[in-house]
Amino acid sequence: MTPTIDVQSTYTGGAIIISAVSTGAYTLSRSVSGGPFMQIGSGTDLAVFLDVGENLPGPLDPTLPYAYQLTDINGTVTSTPVTPASNVTLEIEPLMMVIQRLLQGAINGMVAAGTLPPGIKAPDKVLLAMPIGGLPSFPIITINLDLLQQEEVPIGQSFLRTDSAGDYILHGFAKRIYTISVLCADAITRDFYREAIVRWWLLFAATVFNQIGQNITHRYQVASGQVAKDEKAPGFYYADMMVQINGTLNAKVSPGFGLIETIDITTNNQGETDQIIIT
């Protein structure tokens, strides 16, 4: 049986997947930009070969075309050239920013409504990281993603599914654990924001996260304490709230090429093909 070969660039570029059918001993060679074929593999009964830059100092060049030649006991077959280009657009959910702005919005709402208890000061801003060039005024509220962990894998996740634009969506679920930290100069302010954030978080889960696929399950736990250099110093009062949400984490890549959606064929009076329109 004559050998067969099919080549396809990976979505992320820099590599080419070679699917083949061969009989007995084989050799596989590669040509770059129409140059001579150089052997990159040999063995028995080739089925799949992943070329990530075999015999090269790095991955395949995304600007050059590569052709492959497979030879076995029944003959030689050559592939069409393929360029391992990648024009992938990653769509990453800005969930950290969403949570930060939800918290900031809840605080701003209380300030605007004048419902902050007497003596409780609003933080300047809910921070995504502690500032390096000095501390802001108290109270300080920060949020950080501590853990991102894969959860259940949906059935058929590894099967390629594309839409008419050529986009590839990989569906999955993930556990996210955030730490929301409150740092204050007094215990009363610390306790207020600890209790407020717990209740805001429950409201976010019920009214926001479930609308965007981020509320399969959720839970929280809070630890409070005081930090001081010695027993006589007042120190700082803190509350660390670990909040967890289990939700979706989908990977969508847009390689930049379209797929054939419809093929319209018209014929003349003799039944011969007159026109083919591909969209």
Q: What is the pLDDT of residue 13?
A: 83
SS (H, E, C) 117-137: CCCCCCCCCEECCCCCCCCCC
Q: What is the pLDDT of residue 9?
A: 86
pLDDT tier at 274, thresholds 50, 70, 90: low
Q: What is the pLDDT of residue 230?
A: 64
Q: Give 3-state DSSP helix, strand, coil % of the chain, rounded to 5.
A: 15, 40, 45
Q: What is the pLDDT of residue 241?
A: 94
Q: Which domains does the chain have, with CATH numbers?
A: 4-78 (2.60.40.10), 95-253 (3.30.70)
- Single-letter residue type at 58: G
Task: Quick: pLDDT tens for 89-111.
Answer: 666 778 889 999 999 999 999 99
Classify residue 143 as exposed, middle or buried by CB count within 10 Å of its CB (0-12, 13-18, 19+).
buried
Calculate what percentage of the chain has a pLDDT beyond 90. 51
Q: How many CB atoms lie within 10 A of CB 61?
A: 17
Structure tokens, 89: 């657009």
Is 0.95 surpassed by the pTM of this model?
no
Task: Quick: pLDDT tens for 169-195.
Answer: 777 888 999 999 999 989 999 999 999
Of residues 214 and 268, the one with the higher pLDDT is 214
Task: Quick: pLDDT tens for 1-11.
Answer: 789 999 988 87
Is the pLDDT confidence value at 259 over 60? no
Q: Average pLDDT in the 130-138 region?
A: 74
- The residues near 210 (Cβ < 8 Å, ≥ 6 apart) are none
pLDDT tier at 85, thresholds 50, 70, 90: confident
Taking the C-alpha atoms of residue 234 and residue 219, their distance in angstroms, rounded to an integer, is 32
Q: Average pLDDT in the 220-231 region?
A: 82
